Structure formats: structure tokens, C-alpha cells
Structure 1
Amino acid sequence: MITVIEQAVQARLIATAPKVETVPVTLCYDRADPFAVRMAFPALATLEGVEVSWTFARELLSSGIRQPSGTGDVRVRPYDGDRTTIEFHAAEGVAIVLMVTGELQRFLDRAAVVVPLGLEHHYLDMDHSLAELMRGSC
């Protein structure tokens, strides 16, 4: 049974320091962390010159392709009928990427096969999470 979904997509950088217009981005969903998605940017697209990953709620991505969503470090909103804007806010500045909504929806559909929306809580390993939280406290 598949427990991890990865999908390569193209993102168009709208506002960022490096002079790169389009970069390959990797979307990742792991059943071990059922509420989250991870978006990894290659080194060539970052100020530090190293791969940077952002982890945020799967529901934020899902709702953001239909309506403006998010008020924190990650904000997602429809741009036009075919594209979605994702904003990443950090101390160093803001990066805005434009992605094809169909690719994001395809990724979300694949993730929903691994863990259906609304059933994420059934896939949490509370014993493991509690052990990780308590590790080193005794």
C-alpha cells in the first residue's frame, strides 16, 4: 500500500531574490503526517543556495485553490481559473509562486487516496508522537 505521494510540478516565481523564473518543485504527502503537505524548492531557487522545504496544512492547500486561505507564513489563493498563488512569508522576505491549479488538484486527489480528507485522525500514531515529545525529558 502506498503511504507517501511525491509529485514534481513547475512553479513560476513571482517575487524572489534569485533571478529564476520557473523552478521544479516537489510536493510530498506522507501518511505518517496526515494533516500536512511538504513543498520542497531546489537550491537554485533559494537565497541560501540549499533546498528549502515548507510544511503546511493539506487543508490550507485544498481550500486555497478555491478561495483565499491562510493568514500566517503560508497563504494560498486562486489567481485565475487555471493557476493558484502560494505566498511564503519568512524573516528574509516573501516568495510568491504561481502554480497550475490542475497539478495541485491532482496531487491532492492522489493524497486523498492515501488518507481520505476528514479521516486524518485515524492515521495518527499517538503513542509514537507522545514518545517523541517526551524523549529526553526524563
Structure 2
Amino acid sequence: MHAVEQYARAHIVTDTADSADDEHRAVPVALRYDPATDPRQVRITLPGPHEWTFDRELLERGLRVPVDSGGVRIWPCGRVQAVLEFHSTQGVAVVQLDTKALMRFLRRTYTAAMPVAH
């Protein structure tokens, strides 16, 4: 079992952006999965000190139908995008990612979680 880290581009879609340009700019995000730490959890890190940990199953289901758990909501947005909404005491972060990138990440997590045959 090994950790998976994948970088992707996301679009901020909140109304708290400083300008209209900020609202639609692409930002780098890091998707992480470490089966040694917790095989059920994934992490997503946005620019700055913003990191959320939530169930991998929530991400998988959220690509098909709207789901939420605690401070995380995920839903499909058309056929090629997904929206992730994160609630914290500092406010709400809403980002849009390509579904392909999220599916690729999920496939890699399931491969990484499989025991290696010796």
C-alpha cells in the first residue's frame, strides 16, 4: 500500500472573491490519500492553510448525486464538472473541479489500497 498525491486545477465559485477575475481563476489543489493513515479518508488542500479530510466514499458518490456529510457537500455539475463545498468556522469555500481528475484520483486510491502480492 502506498500514498497517492495528485494535483489538479479548480475554479473558485464563491461570491467572496475579491474581484470578478478571482471568482473564475484556476487555483491549484492537492488531492491526497494515504491508506496507512486511514484507508477510508481522502484530503483536499486548497491554496493557503485550507485542508479538508472526508470519506473517500463521499467523494465517489458526490460525482453521481448530491451528498453531504458534516461540513462537506459534493454534487455533480453537468457531465464534466463537480462542485465541492467546504464549511468551516472561517466561512465557506466552493470550488469546481473536472470530474475526470477526481475519477482518476479515485481509481489511483483503490489501486494504492490493494495489498501487494509477494
TM range (shorter): 0.7 to 0.9
The answer to which structure has the higher strand fraction is 2
Q: In structure 2, how many angstroms separate the alpha carbons of the residues matched to 1:71 and 1:40?
A: 18
Residue of structure 2 aligned with 1:35, choices 37, 40, 44: 40
Tell me the secondary structure at the aligned position of residue 103 of structure 1: helix
Residue of structure 2 aligned with 1:58, choices 31, 53, 56: 56
> Offset at 1:42?
1.7
> Offset at 1:92?
2.2
TM superposition outliers: structure 1 runs of 4+ over 4 Å: none
> Offset at 1:71?
3.9
Residue of structure 2 equivalent to 1:73: 71
CA RMSD of aligned residues (A): 1.7
How many aligned residue pairs are there?
Answer: 109
Q: In structure 2, how many angstroms separate the alpha carbons of the residues matched to 1:16 and 1:4?
A: 34
TM-score when normalising by structure 2: 0.85
> Offset at 1:17?
3.4
Q: Give ranges in structure 2 of 5+ residues lacking alignment.
A: none
Q: In structure 2, how many angstroms separate the alpha carbons of the residues matched to 1:69 and 1:115?
A: 24
Q: Does 1:24 align with 2:17?
A: no
Q: In structure 2, how many angstroms separate the alpha carbons of the residues matched to 1:87 and 1:37?
A: 15
Structure with bigger gyration radius: 1
- Matched letter for residue 92 of structure 2: V
Q: In structure 1, how many angstroms separate the alpha carbons of the residues matched to 2:35 and 2:92?
A: 29
> Offset at 1:84?
0.2
TM-score when normalising by structure 1: 0.73
